[in-house]
Amino acid sequence: MNTKIKCLLLDDELPGLTYLKMLCEQIPELEIVKAFNDPQKLLEEVPKFDFDLCISDIEMPGIDGLTLANLLQDKLVIFTTAYKNYAAEAFDIDAVDYVTKPVTKERLERAVAKALERFQKFDSSRKFIHLNTDKGKSLLYFEQIQYIKTAAVDSRDKEVYLADGSILILKNINFGSLLDQLPKADFCRVNKKEIIAIKAVQYFNHTEITLSLHEGKGKPTVLVLSETYKNDFLSKVKI
């Protein structure tokens, strides 16, 4: 299984945070996005990060881990703590697991395995993602997406072409973050500036892809298939 869970780490005690980070780095299924020793700082920076899981201490000054978990909507949480009396509250908020300190690698691996199982179930059932657009927060349904390209005005933004003919501007998001959130079997990057939905492909060869989506005056949309992304594309169309 090549799936990796993107993870934030939080512990207000630096020795504990360093130790937790060391353990997490030994678990192949985890990709550490950033480690924090201040819960308030984590909350301030959450909008900047693409992550799936937070491994957090519970007893911390200012904001405790239980409060924090309730603020991290739709994110998986594993608690680590030296105190056993929080277990019931942790599971009341649907935490993935509750690991008492001192944390061992074996115990943390079991918790991560639970997170991975839940993540995969959630990921396979998703039908849309929440993204910031020029029209506000939007539910972007996977089945509606035809292709995505870098915006002409600002390269930090992306233009999404939908099946109904409309176009949305996604604000300040990179292709890596987009691909992490799109179903991997259904979408593919084809060059530096464009992502396509596999179902939108009408014709292709080893250098070009013609989409079923048409531009103005009925002209078909033809994209360059870059050598860098060719193998991934061909594998997804079963060639």
* The pairing of beta strand 158-162 with beta strand 187-191: unpaired
pLDDT for position 162:
92
Query: Taking the domains of the chain in order of start, what are their residue ranges?
Result: 5-125, 128-236
State whether residue 169 is helix, strand or coil: strand
Please state which CATH class domain 5-125 belongs to. Answer: alpha beta
Say what the pLDDT of residue 158 is: 96
β-pair type (53-57, 5-10)? parallel
pLDDT in the model for residue 2: 47
pTM of the model: 0.54
| In contact, 170 and 129? CB cutoff 8 Å | no
**Domain 5-125 matches domain 128-236 at the CATH topology level:** no
- Among positive and negative, which fits the CA dihedral 188, 191, 193, 194? negative
Q: For residues 228 and 234, is the Cβ–Cβ distance under 8 A?
A: no
Structure confidence at residue 83 (pLDDT): 72
Instruction: Extract the residue ranges of the chain whose pLDDT is less than 50.
Output: 1-2
168's tokens: 């949305």
Helix (H), strand (E) at residue 36: strand 30-36
Superfamily of domain 128-236: LytTr DNA-binding domain (2.40.50.1020)
